[in-house]
């Protein structure tokens, strides 16, 4: 019985951690009422000036601050969106060839605090 309780607690903590971290693995791209791109949870999407068309250059510490928007292969994407392969084999969503990212300091839908960070991060508009 103790083992079952511990396992149940472990699953609950995993689910809570996933929700807090913003599990965006199955997110689709949408356009906000303000005219910029968001994930399915309404979180603002950004592009990185140091990326090449169709290639992400944000890994390690960069990707911890700017989580890439990844989806399962075969996910329906809007016009202008495509998938970019990351070095770990995951599929990152791109718009007009530019990989898309979230910003860890945006904690609620509609926040855009990542726009202009380091002069290299920008809100993406269709």
pLDDT digits 0-9 by tens, 90-104: 999 999 999 999 999
Is residue 93 within a helix (H) or strand (E), and if so which, with residue range?
strand 91-95
CA distances from 4 to 11, 15, 16 (A): 11, 17, 18
Structure tokens given for 106: 């945006």
Q: Which residues of the chain have pLDDT under 70?
A: 1-27
Rg (CA), the chain: 16
Instruction: Say whether 11 sits in a helix, a strand or coil.
Output: helix
Dihedral angle over CA of 82, 126, 24, 117, nearest 10: 110
Provide the pLDDT for residue 14.
30
Provide the pLDDT for residue 118.
97
Provide the pLDDT for residue 19.
34
Q: CB under 8 Å to 7, separation ≥6 — which residues?
A: none
Structure tokens given for 56: 């992400």
Q: Report how far residue 96's alpha carbon sits from residue 34's, in angstroms, rounded to the nearest whole number.
A: 19
104 conformational bin, left if phi > 0, alpha if psi -120 to 50, beta if neither: alpha
pTM above 0.85, yes or no: no
Provide the pLDDT for residue 20.
34
b/e code 51-66 from CB counts within 10 Å (16+ = b):
beeeebebeeeeeebb
């Amino acid at each position: 019985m103790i083992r079952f309780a511990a396992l149940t607690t472990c699953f609950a903590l995993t689910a809570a951690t996933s929700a807090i971290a913003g599990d965006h693995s199955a997110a689709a791209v949408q356009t906000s009422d303000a005219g910029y791109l968001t994930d399915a949870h309404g979180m603002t999407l950004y592009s990185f000036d140091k990326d090449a068309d169709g290639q992400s250059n944000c890994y390690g510490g960069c990707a911890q601050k700017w989580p890439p928007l990844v989806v399962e292969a075969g996910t329906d994407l809007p016009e202008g969106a495509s998938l970019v392969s990351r070095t770990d084999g995951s599929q990152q969503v791109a718009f007009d060839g530019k990989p898309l990212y979230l910003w860890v300091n945006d904690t609620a839908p509609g926040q855009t605090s990542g726009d202009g960070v380091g002069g290299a991060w920008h809100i993406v508009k269709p």
